[in-house]
Amino acid sequence: MKNIPTNVLMEYERVKDTLDQHNHRYYVLDDPSIPDSEYDRQMRQLQDLEQQYPALISDDSPSQRVGGKALDAFTQVRHAVAMLSLENAFSDTELDDFDRRLKDRLNFAALKDLSEIEFACEPKLDGVAVSLLYENGHLIRGATRGDGSVGEDITANVRTINSIPLKLRGDNTPKLLEVRGEIYLPRPGFDALNAKAMAAGEKTFVNPRNAAAGSLRQLDSKVTASRPLEMCAYSVGQFEAEVTPDSHTHMLEALGDWGFKINEHLQAVKGVEACKDYYRAMAERRDTLTYDIDGIVYKVNDLGLQQRLGFVAKAPRWAIARKFPAQEEMTQLLDVEFQVGRTGAITPVARLEPVFVGGVTVRNATLHNGDEIRRLGVCVGDTVIIRRAGDVIPKIAKVVLEKRPVDARAIVFPDRCPVCQSSVQRAEGEAVARCSGGLFCGAQIKEAIKHFASRKAMDIDGLGDKLVELLVDAGAIYSVADLYELTPDKIAGLERMADKSASNLVAAINVSKETTLAKFLYALGIREVGEATAQTLANNFGTIESVTKADAEQLLEVDDIGPVVAKHIVNFFNNPDNLSIIDALRDAGVSWSDIDQNAQPSQPLKGQTWVLTGGLEIMSRAEAKDRLQELGAKVAGSVSAKTSRVVAGPGAGSKLAKAESLDIPVMTEEEFVAFLARGQ
């Protein structure tokens, strides 16, 4: 260690010890305390120190092994062919450097028959790497990667996974075949697993990969069998057969023929620029997938070129992983505020030290309710792991307890509304606590008016959130009915409300008086009654009088209305204050056409779910939605396996991609208009 400064030695030992601790927590305890992005940063710091001072490198350095030690509870397995890790690229520049290194080592300029290197591109599944050994077509062993040389025998557990063949399909199967792949837990299964754990008061998993790792390390294979794990093959280790495929993609096609699941997004491309295009395309599709991916793996497709390129100590030279922006990050919880919603629901909102995660800067995260605060055991001042996937609201996934400061303080859920000081109540069987102040509560009044005026409800042009708050704070309105009593004189003096703006707002309010029964019902803000349910109520009852008089038994006879929604509807219309507001609105001129129950149009799309995406040009999205609902269809905002059809206008993105991946029928807008014209 001569010529290495003391401060460098101390820093190196600190980083090395920290990484060892994180490896132990992740691989041995199944209890990670930091997100992957933080681990990657610390590993890079260690590698930079070792590159600058090679004498530091020792056999026990985390950089010199792929993963953690095998658990003592399982029989150890020594891999005949080491399971290596991959180098990472975090930018286009680093990918260009990788391509340049390949060409230099291959003396690419001399390969006259190649204009660019062909790469196999695959999503990098966020799961657990495994090795499956087959002899004469039969599965004889399954093992984890472990430290790359020695793993854990998990044969009994992998046999419970339906996507792993116990016997290879076909006649021309290899005499010896070792398949490498990723075992992972799809998001729906992960959500269900955590929901079940929460209901039982048990510990939940931080993310799907953590859940998959824990599932594979169960000593009782019945537990593993109860979890919806999947396995996707991505390479081979040992291989003995009469014919060997000449490329990586051909090898995976052969694995598919033998019964293995191969990722549907596998693609061979020419050149590094095409690799970048693939990365961008998959980044857009990432949030539509039913499983987590954390990047893209690029491999030189030609197996002969792979052999020429060879390996460095712990990674192949012919492959690299391009990482996506982290979906988990660490930050500090600065404070918690309690917000009151339209229905009185009190929601704790975490105020965070700003952190860049999932492609955006996050300052706030939801804590959902008091139960979630207790489950997490979170305190103000804690360091927390924030998770954000796509457009999902950021959430606190875990508390890093070892970083808790001495002055951390408990989060106390209020027993009085923070706005009106009314008592906070929690109904039996509900997780959400609510302010009991009703329309006495200023926050509920404001939120109710905002909802009433929104585009999908009464659609009052120009009445935005800030103006609603100004009107309520100034005492100009106290309920939705008061909107129709406004005059230009009453509001012209408000901030940013000149005479013309005031006149325009009053005119827009008057225009909104003519509506439909469905929109009016939705605008009332009844708990759990969205657009589709409001339309269903209008179609089934025809008049507001029939809806207000319906009892729970009558409501339960209507499709899509269950006991909870029926209870909310009955409670709403049993409240005399709500009925008086409806009367006041009708007296003010709000009107609609009743629906003749004896002349109901046919609903050929009843029971179907449609999705609209992209920019519709021939008709507005609202008009298209109304037409579909008239035909009986439910119009959803996201694509799932239950979607019946998707209408895709120009600029359609992730929803169209997901529909195509699920083989859901897709219509252009022109086809949709023709479909409506035929009266289908």
SS (H, E, C) 305-341: HHHHHCECCCCECCEEEEECCCCEEEEEEEEEEEEEC
> Which is catalytic among the residues 16, 124, 655, 658?
124
Token readout for 110 is 């001399």
Please give the helix or strand (H or E) that residue 128 lies within, else none: strand 128-135
**What SS3 class is residue 660?**
helix
State how far the Cα of 319 lies from the Cα of 304, in Å rounded to an integer: 14
**What SS3 class is residue 42?**
helix
**What SS3 class is residue 399?**
strand
638-655 in b/e form (b: 16+ CB < 10 A) is: ebeeebebbbbbeebebb
Distances (CA, A) of 279 to 83, 92, 289, 564, 655: 25, 10, 15, 45, 18
Q: Which amino acid is at 433?
A: A
Sign, CA dihedral 651-655-659-665, equals negative
**What SS3 class is residue 141?**
strand
Token readout for 669 is 């807008």
Q: Residue 95: which of 126, 121, 129, 62 has the closest Cα?
A: 121
DSSP 460: -
Measured in degrees and rounded to the nearest 5, phi and psi for residue 423 equal -65, 145
Provide Rg for the chain, Cα atoms.
Answer: 30
319-323 and 138-144 strand pairing: unpaired
3: phi > 0 → left, psi -120 to 50 → alpha, else beta; which? left
Residue 398 falls in the annotated catalytic set: no
Q: Residue 151: which of 225, 209, 213 has the closest Cα?
A: 213
| Beta-carbon contacts of residue 383 (< 8 Å; ≥ 6 apart) | 330, 331, 332, 333, 399, 400, 403, 404
Length of the chain: 680
CA 452-458-464 angle, 5° bins: 60
Distances (CA, A) of 471 to 440, 462, 493, 520, 577: 16, 13, 11, 22, 21
Q: CA 14: distance to chain centroid?
A: 35
Q: Which amino acid is at 42?
A: Q
State how far the Cα of 512 lies from the Cα of 453, in Å rounded to an integer: 9
Cβ-contact 151, 68 below 8 angstroms: no
Residues tagged active-site:
124
